[in-house]
């Protein structure tokens, strides 16, 4: 009788541990999926930025430095996203967003460019992608938070350590990106 009880308790513990393991796997895959969703949007924006820069070049002969900054920042974002380095991506995103902010501010000095249909379409598309990236970043960080909390809670922490579940990194932007935009500096 005692042996049967022991086997029943053992079976319950095994089923419970399998349930925990499956829940942790689901969370880990949710983080990967959220990252993949961000990556898709980053690639789309990566493809749109050269078109925007080329459109601007036709009008902005004296703004090469601004255009080059945007393209360098674009390359940094693509490299960080490709390597999966979340911290580097956050810093590169901050640089790119600042460059785009400066570019869109400088465009105000070029009425013909502002009126160009191609430019307006690209500007709207990039703005839409920026908003989508922000939304996906929020979902990614929520998935990361759920994963990180769960692998630290008891009894999940026992299973997480047994099977090497690791914390995921939040996608955060630098402090300068989170602060208010200095509009005067954009026009200097």
Give 2-19+48-187's CATH code, choosing from 1.10.287, 1.10.3470, 1.20.1440, 2.60.40. Answer: 1.20.1440
Peptide bond into 155 cis (omega under 30): yes
Strand ranges in 75-151 using DSSP code E only, listed in sequence order: none
The pTM assigned to this predicted structure is 0.74
Domain borders along the chain are: 2-19+48-187
Alpha carbon distance 179, 106 (integer Å): 20
Q: What is the pLDDT of residues 44-61, one digit of tens each?
A: 888 888 888 888 877 776
First and final CA of the chain: distance in angstroms?
A: 85
Q: What is the pLDDT of residues 138-175, one digit of tens each?
A: 999 999 999 999 999 999 999 999 999 999 988 887 65
Q: How many CB atoms lie within 10 A of CB 35?
A: 21
pLDDT at residue 184 in the model? 43
Q: Of 42, 10, 48, whose CA–CA distance to 125 is shortest?
A: 48
């Amino acid at each position: 009788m005692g042996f049967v009880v022991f086997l029943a308790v053992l079976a319950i513990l095994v089923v419970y541990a399998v349930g925990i393991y499956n829940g942790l796997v689901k969370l880990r895959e949710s983080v990967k999926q959220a990252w993949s969703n961000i990556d898709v949007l980053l690639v789309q924006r990566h493809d749109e930025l050269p078109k925007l820069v080329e459109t601007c070049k036709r009008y902005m002969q004296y703004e090469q430095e601004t255009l080059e900054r945007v393209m360098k920042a674009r390359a940094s974002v693509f490299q960080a996203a490709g390597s999966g380095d979340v911290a580097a991506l956050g810093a590169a995103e901050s640089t790119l967003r600042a460059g785009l902010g400066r570019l869109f501010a400088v465009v105000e000095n070029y009425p013909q460019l502002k009126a160009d249909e191609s430019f307006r379409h690209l500007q709207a598309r990039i703005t839409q992608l920026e908003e989508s990236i922000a939304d996906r970043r929020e979902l990614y960080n929520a998935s990361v938070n759920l994963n990180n909390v769960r692998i630290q809670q008891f009894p999940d922490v026992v299973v997480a350590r047994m099977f090497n579940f690791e914390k995921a990194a939040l996608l955060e932007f630098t402090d300068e990106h989170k602060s208010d935009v200095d509009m005067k500096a954009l026009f200097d």
